[in-house]
Structure 1
């Protein structure tokens, strides 16, 4: 199942800089790991915001929730999820 996920990160201003840097480092590592497995198919930054739009390819709603909750920055995210399905006019065969 494909999902469009928008993640808007809002780290509290008072969080220690070294904690923030460690969170960002482990977030990057986790995101890259998920991209390599194919579960996180696409990742785009939203210009001008600490936010992204991503496409996930996972088995279920529950699987997506489980993955998102493993992200180190998850406690500081506002997340919006949109389920996707293949458009009948698409010329791509790999987008299902």
Structure 2
């Protein structure tokens, strides 16, 4: 199942900079691992914002929820999920 996932990150000011650096490094490692597994199939930065638009390919709504809720930056994210279906005019 394909999903378009929009993630906006808002890390509160005043958090320990070392903690934030570790979170960001852990987030990057997790995102790259999910990409290697073929679950996080596209990842685009939104210019001018601390945000991304991503495409996930997972077996179920529950699997997507489990993945998103275990991302290190999840507590600081606003996430919007849109399930996707093949368009009848798509050639690929």
Aligned 1:59-78 pairs, distance under 5 A:
59-78=59-78
Partner of 1:80: 80
Which sections of structure 2, spanning at least 5 residues, go unmatched? none
Q: TM-score, normalised by structure 2?
A: 0.99
**Structure 1 CA distance for aligned equivalents of residues 91 and 29 of structure 2:** 33
In structure 2, C-alpha distance between the alignment counterparts of 1:49 and 1:73, rounded to whole Å: 15
Tell me how far 1:70 sits from its aligned partner: 1.2
The reply to whether residue 29 of structure 1 matches residue 57 of structure 2 is no
Shift of 1:14: 1.0
- The runs of at least 4 aligned residues of structure 1 exceeding 4 Å deviation read none
Provide the residue aligned with 2:43 in structure 1: 43
Aligned to 1:16: 16
- Distance in 2 (CA, whole Å) between partners of 1:90 and 1:15 is 46
Distance (Å, rounded) in 2 between the aligned partners of 1:6 and 1:14: 25
Consecutive unaligned residues in structure 1, runs of 5 or more: none
